Structure 1
């Protein structure tokens, strides 16, 4: 039954459109014309009632489409009635159906001259007043709604980052904002339907009158007076039958576009705003004064004065009673919603906030996240999360921003996984001037150091910003300092942000495009835990996982040999070589590398192969000398801001990576097999020569 009902609903709309088309091309009898005219009036009344009862414009989001179909139905009826009027009009006033006859006789008393004036007045009201005003409101509303769309989306992101709404609520709010923009854009266009329909009514009336006069006098041998009376009366009746529903749709359109969102329908909203003694008491007084003037209709004016006075008396004290009732209802609801407090009970919310990333700030930095001040820091955090998510290949968790009274007023602290990974202080009322090595002048300020890259800097007043820029400093505000530091720390700890849930989402997306590959990878031969460990190991070495399909293909092959996470990482890295080095050099640039001297590399290789625990520990004294040599060799490259990599044998790559993290943590360590064939290589230093490792 449900299936048949659903299929019937799906077929109803195409069937209705087909029926409208048939009305335009297929002759129908006068009886069916009466039925469709009445149906048109019913539909217009229903649309008007829905528009008046909607609490907000989006409650009738289908209105633009409904308006289109209603307009098409009315135009199709105009075509059908025109055919009937011109073909059978000479037979009498009932030839075009009883509805047209009734509108021609009852509403205008059978006088077609009166009918012309009545129709002209209706057209003036509809076309010039209602339709033109509604069209202008639709145009302005559409423009303002589209202009406000980016700001609303940023506000949603800010509330989401601040923890003021859940992801589900944010998603629903984004859908609502998008629907609102689509609705007002559609209303701007659909208002042209109403205007076009009014113009079409004028043209159709003229065609019916002129065509009737020609057919009546030429084809049916009627006198000019008889033809004018018969066909004009039928044409006016036909026009009024169509124009009254059109007027109701115009009113509905105007009511929709002029609505302001409220928890009440239109009647309730208007009634609540007129329910004031201060509104009706002056009305009663003025009407009473008019009733006492000589020559005025005393009974009518006095009746209305008494009615306005009675309304003012009844509304006296109503706001206080309504406020008291609302307060009592709210108190009852809150009391019912909150269970009795148990001092012995400890909730989980008191233990953890369930957020992986947190930013704690002192009370002096609260204006940076205050919505009333524009929340500049929240907007930057949203941009950071979006860009990091694109770079890393998974959605970076939300950043919970909270003030902490235990911190200094201008201090902040970044927490990842419950561990403080960075902290510093900023001056919110000043600007940080960074010394990038190109400073040619000097400015006054408080010496400081950039928390992200350790550059020397100054805290300067905002008035000195232009002078500092001219002197060669790079000037940023405190919000940018915090955001840049947060971005750097999240990138360094990206591996800690990836968990089984994020890995499962990557698999779910892979199933949509490569179901066979996803099935061959997890849960067999690799478990979700092992796959997560592999991805975290890649992230720990600054390898993005956004090319997850390529990583999954390499893992599916490597998993045939082992399911150990560390071994899997080493096996798939050669397949990812081009992804790794693309951050180090351009397509046509050589890869700058440091290598180990052959004898040193052999010593380290023998030690790694003889270590059954695979911990690859390097003798401390040798490790110290290698670190000193690499730091010295890397200094020229770092001064020229030229990225490079250390390339070693596969057997010692892991041990050298652990060693490099202590001195050059951002320098990638590659094995020879990870350098793509045909990639030009420029050796910038060889570590291990006697002079380099001299004690």
Structure 2
């Protein structure tokens, strides 16, 4: 154990010894001096910290020094009453030298110290600690939301966000601890008064009954010792209580207390002239001695002059630096390197017209930033990918109520919101009593109405789905990101997923990359899964499959098919409700054979080389079956054999990107499959 840690443990043991075993007066003198030195050190440290968390151990330290002082009080009381008044040199010195040997004066000084500590400093520090703890805890949710908003806006990194969250938690713990520890300071002040009264009363009793001293001599002897003991105890206690008040009232700043006081107190030099003139006037027009007031007024005037000159010098230097900075910026603009920062393209951007500013302004009740944070979390859980930071900004080129969603700088979706309306989607049976502005739900393209708040309750009773504007745009943004998730997953994002996997499955990652498959190969497989809305959250299963088949083939299309089959339970759960059959459109054997025969193998992989006329027939046949299935209210799903699944998917991808294509190997054996249509390609 390090010596410094051992010394702290020994100090706690010493406190216990002080409470039990009588100590020699020489050791008591040493402990009293240590107590004073410790209190002085604590108040100096509290004055030099820039923020409370820099002295985070203070609440615990406050309890220890309070316990140490109480233990010392027990030892000094035992020495005063048990050694016939021999309490050591320090207590005797305080009783005779500090208060001039006058017991009454010393008692008055002690009472004043106790009143100042108990009524002013201790009570104030206790109140500030209580209020600080309450406001810190109340402000925690808002601070957390602010951090999430800054993180989402790209103003801070993940590391900075974690550090700021940790600091908020530490602040809450600190002020909560200070709230409790300040009660000990209050109790210590009360204990000091009680101990002094005990020493005084029982000192008189012992002096008169046991030592046979007259009342006046016993009172003089034990009153001086009691007052001396009270002073050596209450002076450190006063310093500690003051340090408590300084720490809990300290706001975070760039300097220590001395720096802040001098900087802020002398921030207005002209006020020193006013103060100096006022003091000088007191000396001239009142009986106050003129030399005293003139001296103070002179000091204030000279100080104001020096500070004013320094202020002008600093302002001149600032103007010169600003001019130099402007010239430097102009040179940077002219230099070829200055355009590099303009090449940055944000992965996801959400732009809106000025009429939608309340949507993102927290001061106006907007919660879009919070919703974006939840969207990123939701997609991380559903899709298993880390959605990049979504850049949110206003764009005056858009219509006031219009918004635009961009992926890698290109607009992929847009919509329009009416903030004072609700979007209502019909359940299929229209209610003529509900009127509004006709529109289209942006996420899924369903017909809808913008209705006023007057129709909201009636629409809900009629079975309409009523959604507020923030929910409309949140749903739209979520669906757009899902639709383009494969574009957002690049090599850098894939590397992050691999590094995260490596923390828990290092052997598995080592078997897959970099010897078997490159980061680019893994990225292609994951992108193909995301393209068909298959979650990649179960990375261990994906990597197990890649480790098994990556040695046999580098064809990412084929590897994706193997991974899909390994994720059969997940894919089945995605499309099949528990206990219900799966309704599908099956592909006939003739069509599968035609597709399989048209597959050509090359050095760069396999591709479908199907006659255009035959391709058109197959696509039209699938379109007919899909339309027929949609008329029944069922989600169309195409089912075929594993050998041709990816080729059929490629065939219909341009025409029906949202129609899932599954193979038999991707369904669990327990699933009941019911075919309600067959693709004959005729």
* TM-score, length-scaled by structure 1: 0.84
- Identify the residue that residue 296 of structure 2 maps to in structure 1: 307
- What is the DSSP-based 3-state SS (H/G/I as helix, E as strand, rest coil) of the residue aligned with 2:574? coil
- Identify the residue that residue 628 of structure 2 maps to in structure 1: 632
| Cα drift, residue 683 of structure 1 | 1.7
Q: 1:460 to 1:439 in 2, by over 3 A?
A: same
Give the Cα separation in 2 of the matches to 1:218 and 1:671. 106
Q: Work out whether residues 609 and 651 of structure 1, in 8 Å CA contact, stay in contact via their aligned partners in 2.
A: no
Q: Work out whether residues 584 and 644 of structure 1, in 8 Å CA contact, stay in contact via their aligned partners in 2.
A: no
Give the Cα separation in 2 of the matches to 1:441 and 1:323. 75
Give the Cα separation in 1 of the matches to 2:21 and 2:536. 63
| Cα drift, residue 262 of structure 1 | 3.8
- Identify the residue that residue 491 of structure 2 maps to in structure 1: 500
- Identify the residue that residue 29 of structure 2 maps to in structure 1: 34
- Identify the residue that residue 121 of structure 2 maps to in structure 1: 130
Aligned pair partner of 2:580 in 590, 595, 602: 590
| Cα drift, residue 421 of structure 1 | 1.8
Q: What do residues 428-457 of structure 1 show as CA deviations (whole Å, max 9, x unaligned)?
A: 555444445465354443322121111222
Aligned pairs for 1:74-473 (under 5 A) are 74-87=69-82, 89-90=83-84, 92=85, 95-110=86-101, 112=103, 114-205=105-196, 208=199, 230=221, 233-275=224-266, 276=268, 297-299=287-289, 303-304=292-293, 307=296, 311=300, 315=304, 322=311, 325-326=314-315, 328-329=317-318, 331-332=320-321, 335-336=324-325, 338=328, 340-341=331-332, 343-370=334-361, 373=364, 376-428=367-419, 430-437=421-428, 440-461=431-452, 469=460, 472-473=463-464
Aligned pairs for 1:531-610 (under 5 A) are 531-586=522-577, 588-596=578-586, 599-600=589-590, 602-603=592-593, 606-607=596-597
Aligned pair partner of 2:642 in 638, 650, 654: 650
| Cα drift, residue 135 of structure 1 | 1.3
Q: Work out whether residues 646 and 669 of structure 1, in 8 Å CA contact, stay in contact via their aligned partners in 2.
A: yes
Q: 1:111 to 1:312 in 2, by over 3 A?
A: closer
- What is the DSSP-based 3-state SS (H/G/I as helix, E as strand, rest coil) of the residue aligned with 2:583? strand
Give the Cα separation in 1 of the matches to 2:64 and 2:109. 27
Q: 1:584 to 1:622 in 2, by over 3 A?
A: closer
Give the Cα separation in 2 of the matches to 1:407 and 1:63. 55
Q: 1:124 to 1:437 in 2, by over 3 A?
A: farther
- What is the DSSP-based 3-state SS (H/G/I as helix, E as strand, rest coil) of the residue aligned with 1:447? strand
Q: Work out whether residues 393 and 547 of structure 1, in 8 Å CA contact, stay in contact via their aligned partners in 2.
A: yes
Give the Cα separation in 1 of the matches to 2:197 and 2:636. 83
Q: Does 1:622 align with 2:618?
A: yes
Larger displacement relative to structure 2 (610-619 or 138-147): 610-619
* TM-score, length-scaled by structure 2: 0.85
Give the Cα separation in 1 of the matches to 2:98 and 2:675. 98
| Cα drift, residue 384 of structure 1 | 1.6
Give the Cα separation in 2 of the matches to 1:605 and 1:482. 41
Aligned pair partner of 2:66 in 62, 71, 82: 71
- What is the DSSP-based 3-state SS (H/G/I as helix, E as strand, rest coil) of the residue aligned with 1:358? strand
Q: What do residues 53-96 of structure 1 show as CA deviations (whole Å, max 9, x unaligned)?
A: 33443443333233233323323433443444454x21x4xx33
Q: Work out whether residues 637 and 644 of structure 1, in 8 Å CA contact, stay in contact via their aligned partners in 2.
A: no
Give the Cα separation in 1 of the matches to 2:81 and 2:541. 72
Q: 1:452 to 1:235 in 2, by over 3 A?
A: same
Larger displacement relative to structure 2 (385-394 or 218-227): 218-227
Structure 1: gaps of 5 or more residues: 1-5
Q: 1:445 to 1:274 in 2, by over 3 A?
A: same
Q: 1:318 to 1:445 in 2, by over 3 A?
A: farther
Give the Cα separation in 2 of the matches to 1:102 and 1:598. 109
Give the Cα separation in 2 of the matches to 1:15 and 1:665. 74
Q: Work out whether residues 627 and 659 of structure 1, in 8 Å CA contact, stay in contact via their aligned partners in 2.
A: no
Give the Cα separation in 1 of the matches to 2:487 and 2:255. 49
Larger displacement relative to structure 2 (449-458 or 573-582): 573-582
Give the Cα separation in 2 of the matches to 1:277 and 1:61. 36
Q: Work out whether residues 539 and 545 of structure 1, in 8 Å CA contact, stay in contact via their aligned partners in 2.
A: yes
Give the Cα separation in 1 of the matches to 2:213 and 2:638. 105
Structure 2: gaps of 5 or more residues: none
- What is the DSSP-based 3-state SS (H/G/I as helix, E as strand, rest coil) of the residue aligned with 2:575? coil
| Cα drift, residue 632 of structure 1 | 1.4
- Identify the residue that residue 529 of structure 1 maps to in structure 2: 520
Q: Does 1:60 align with 2:55?
A: yes
Give the Cα separation in 1 of the matches to 2:77 and 2:374. 61
| Cα drift, residue 488 of structure 1 | 0.9
Q: How many residues align?
A: 673
| Cα drift, residue 398 of structure 1 | 0.6
Q: What do residues 611-635 of structure 1 show as CA deviations (whole Å, max 9, x unaligned)?
A: 6653346622122102221331244
Give the Cα separation in 1 of the matches to 2:365 and 2:63. 41
- Identify the residue that residue 666 of structure 2 maps to in structure 1: 674
- What is the DSSP-based 3-state SS (H/G/I as helix, E as strand, rest coil) of the residue aligned with 1:298? coil
Q: Work out whether residues 587 and 640 of structure 2, in 8 Å CA contact, stay in contact via their aligned partners in 1.
A: no
Give the Cα separation in 2 of the matches to 1:152 and 1:48. 30
Give the Cα separation in 2 of the matches to 1:29 and 1:351. 77
RMSD (CA atoms): 3.8
